Structure 1
């Protein structure tokens, strides 16, 4: 730690203002992971693309952010922590503007990639800077507040995006970032200068970075386009799968033998860390199944507005914030493996609860599982950081935290593609099954209710589509619940952590 950090040059008022700016910047970046979810139908309709193609808007941001996270440590040392934060925020605001001005799918995806690349370092940098401006005795409380913004962002995103899309236009889900980014930039310039770090010229693993971008890019393109190209019946998808697999293997070999790897894979030798990040990846993937599917289902099949659909999912954030202080206290008193396993299994039962939804579900039938799920979230996230970072050596904490953040973000991107693909394929299978089971006399029955012969075929088709959609969604939730139950068991592979965790690296 530098001398500036040791003397804590900011006075209490400056510290409070800087803390608010850093926490809010983290909230904005995390919010953008999900703010576009409920707006996909609006954006797709405006740009003349299918909702399936619209998922690129979600996954492109997550993949770009995942790729950039491992570079954060190198970038901070090369350019300075505060400079990196400021320029990252400027870039985030600029690409937000361009996203809102986009007129084609290609343009908005390219700008979302730019958003993700600039936003990737902001999340760990906001945490690092908070640790530099607050003394040790205040850090636990500050990190608790920071964790709340991380929990709240993904759940609040749909309600904010829904309100804006319904009452203004989808363009404003990106434009609203501009004044926030401007305030954060000017506040950082005014307040954070005294905690800037020295710049150092460091070698960078260009080959490792290139391999990372290559295999993740091939994998994500395969997942996003596979459902439109008959999967492995299309030579292009086969080629992408082979390139992703080969690129991944070469990447692993290179990083294990490189002196200055872009991603330090050696931390996986610690069983506690490995089981922890596998649990984290599985849980975030299963958790995002609901975040991605529920708003789209409510809008396409249940007649909800984007705002109402987002409001259903927002309850998770509310109860998570209420539970977060209790989770922080429990970490020091109860075996973290028990807390993680219990909360993950809790989330599994909530997801299983959702798998019984029908097209007649009312608002509270949909919202109540979200309320219950929120209580489990802090008891999963906060102890998991203690487990993973407490399982590695102190000098490996930064690398372990970076890997954890990278895998969490990558899991979100991959899960989004897999879940939407499974949902779409399941709808087709369910539709075929429902059509084959239709009673030939159903048309006559509808005619008796006053529906004309011309209206009957369309009405039957709409009812079949509605039922097929919910049946497929319930199957996705059932699989997600099984994944969560598996994750809840895997965490017990880890030995009980004994090391004291340096939360300054826990991004």
Structure 2
């Protein structure tokens, strides 16, 4: 069915008539896209809880084991922006079938891994194939649902984007403690089979456009892989490798810079760049991308800091910590029936602004942590964070595609998803740097505040030595107390900085335009 060109900046097209309802095939396609996105986002974090167990069984050190998580993220962030071009090249059905089938096979490979290289190859394969499943879910919603039903589809996709990262650690922790860590990967087999079945039934076949290979932006494709891949590794591993004192980090930084130069040349010279970065010049879409990055910072940053605090201070195991993180998903479940109505009736600027302010407020609520804080201390802030994430992410999902011409909806989905994941990488890298620096600072300040000659200090140490059986034990206990206090203060600093970062990005809501209330659904082709 032919459709008129969209007016720039609106994303409007008459691809489907107003008032037309989606048929069962369309909803099955949406279900397939949502299931694929959930499978891909879940596997980002499902191994986090079981990493120590996996490392022990495959003979990997702590430093080597981090690549089990990093390899997936690096591969995913490379492929996400390329998914629109791959969709045009192969056709949506062929791309999704290949991605779902290979993702399932790579999951089996991870579950059967007995060595670190085998596991890393499997995780890279999962990242490349799973990354293609995320933005294409948004494309299915944009192309298969009429305008009045797209909010329902966006609500379903938003639920996967939010629940996947927070559900992963809980599910992975439960499987590791009650069954085996292998089933964190084998779980994808029945899900993959169900996804492939839905795709075969609901998504029509499209002829591959092999002629696109001849005019492909190969410089841009290479630049995208080198630039984003190198940058993600630098951000993930920089603090652990002492940044630019490490030759590996220096080389990766050079590779990343070279990649972005090649990408820029491709943008300038290619007739059809692999990804339309010029979309970022639109104030609406540029603002959406930056705010998506801020939501990624909040989502991934808190999902990392809270379990670290609960494990290091409150003595929680990985499953108990994961349950606290999962609390932020409760508002999504409760609000899901109402989100389509919200997207139809509430101004995007109000919704996203309130969402970002709630995210900031939830971070500031956690700045008064003490060594006596426990999981219950995070309940109110986690519920508030869940509401804020729902309001911000669901409306930004809709705006990401609505704010660009219809023919570029796929590019918009890729950039938007990559921005959110890049925000997560920036958050984790920044947290690693700040945590080391602030922990050292607070430890030194606490030590300086304790005078060895003070009468109160000497009396306390004498009492502790008498009770514990010697001055050495008393000194070690004092050191542990200082370290715990310093670590608590460090986590409070991290939450404060997360709140400030979100507040700084919030004024961008003023650049947003109201979503069109009577626009036809956008199309990715």
Unaligned runs of 5+ in 2: 4-14, 453-457
1:474, distance to aligned residue in structure 2 (A): 1.7
- Seen in structure 2, the aligned counterparts of structure 1 residues 354 and 224 have a Cα distance that, compared at 3 Å, is same
Q: How does 1:8-157 map to 2 (within 5 A)?
A: 12=24, 19-47=30-58, 51=62, 53-129=64-140, 138-157=149-168
1:192 to 195, 202, 205: 202
1:496, distance to aligned residue in structure 2 (A): 4.7
Matched, 1:463 2:481: yes
Separation in structure 1 between the aligned mates of residue 59 and residue 487 of structure 2, nearest angstrom: 22
Greater relative contact order: 1 or 2 (C-alpha under 8 angstroms, separation 6 or more)? 2
Matched, 1:336 2:356: no
Matched, 1:480 2:498: yes
Instruction: Check the 8 A contact 2:307/2:321 in 1, yes or no.
Output: yes
Q: How does 1:178-257 map to 2 (within 5 A)?
A: 178-189=189-200, 191-192=201-202, 195-201=204-210, 202-203=212-213, 204-257=216-269
The aligned counterpart of 1:171 is 182
Q: CA RMSD in A?
A: 3.1
SS in 2 for 1:360: coil
The aligned counterpart of 2:510 is 492
* Bigger Cα displacement from structure 2, 43-52 vs 381-390: 43-52
- Seen in structure 2, the aligned counterparts of structure 1 residues 236 and 186 have a Cα distance that, compared at 3 Å, is closer
Separation in structure 2 between the aligned mates of residue 30 and residue 322 of structure 1, nearest angstrom: 21
Instruction: Check the 8 A contact 1:313/1:370 in 2, yes or no.
Output: yes
Q: Alpha-carbon deviations, 1:138-171, whole Å to 9, x = none?
A: 4432332232222221221221122122223333
Instruction: Check the 8 A contact 1:28/1:177 in 2, yes or no.
Output: yes
Instruction: Check the 8 A contact 2:147/2:519 in 1, yes or no.
Output: no
Q: Alpha-carbon deviations, 1:310-350, whole Å to 9, x = none?
A: 00011111112222444432333333112211210111010
SS in 1 for 2:365: helix
1:66, distance to aligned residue in structure 2 (A): 1.8
1:56, distance to aligned residue in structure 2 (A): 3.1
TM-score relative to the length of structure 2: 0.85
Separation in structure 1 between the aligned mates of residue 227 and residue 415 of structure 2, nearest angstrom: 16
The aligned counterpart of 1:402 is 414
Separation in structure 2 between the aligned mates of residue 102 and residue 112 of structure 1, nearest angstrom: 10
Instruction: Check the 8 A contact 1:298/1:309 in 2, yes or no.
Output: yes
The aligned counterpart of 1:263 is 275
- Seen in structure 2, the aligned counterparts of structure 1 residues 503 and 103 have a Cα distance that, compared at 3 Å, is farther
The aligned counterpart of 1:277 is 289
SS in 2 for 1:404: helix
Instruction: Check the 8 A contact 2:353/2:509 in 1, yes or no.
Output: yes
Instruction: Check the 8 A contact 2:82/2:274 in 1, yes or no.
Output: yes
Separation in structure 1 between the aligned mates of residue 104 and residue 239 of structure 2, nearest angstrom: 33
1:105, distance to aligned residue in structure 2 (A): 4.0
Instruction: Check the 8 A contact 1:47/1:105 in 2, yes or no.
Output: yes
The aligned counterpart of 2:389 is 377
SS in 2 for 1:199: coil
1:135, distance to aligned residue in structure 2 (A): 5.6
1:290, distance to aligned residue in structure 2 (A): 0.6
Instruction: Check the 8 A contact 2:292/2:420 in 1, yes or no.
Output: yes
Separation in structure 1 between the aligned mates of residue 478 and residue 274 of structure 2, nearest angstrom: 56
The size of the alignment, in residue pairs, is 502
Instruction: Check the 8 A contact 1:256/1:266 in 2, yes or no.
Output: no
SS in 2 for 1:356: coil
Instruction: Check the 8 A contact 2:223/2:261 in 1, yes or no.
Output: no
1:370, distance to aligned residue in structure 2 (A): 0.7
- Seen in structure 2, the aligned counterparts of structure 1 residues 388 and 89 have a Cα distance that, compared at 3 Å, is closer
Separation in structure 2 between the aligned mates of residue 437 and residue 54 of structure 1, nearest angstrom: 38
Separation in structure 1 between the aligned mates of residue 514 and residue 154 of structure 2, nearest angstrom: 23
Separation in structure 1 between the aligned mates of residue 62 and residue 430 of structure 2, nearest angstrom: 15
Separation in structure 2 between the aligned mates of residue 137 and residue 230 of structure 1, nearest angstrom: 52
SS in 1 for 2:419: helix
- Seen in structure 2, the aligned counterparts of structure 1 residues 245 and 483 have a Cα distance that, compared at 3 Å, is same
- Seen in structure 2, the aligned counterparts of structure 1 residues 246 and 434 have a Cα distance that, compared at 3 Å, is farther
Matched, 1:351 2:351: no
* Bigger Cα displacement from structure 2, 353-362 vs 54-63: 54-63
Unaligned runs of 5+ in 1: none
Instruction: Check the 8 A contact 1:77/1:197 in 2, yes or no.
Output: no
Instruction: Check the 8 A contact 1:319/1:374 in 2, yes or no.
Output: yes
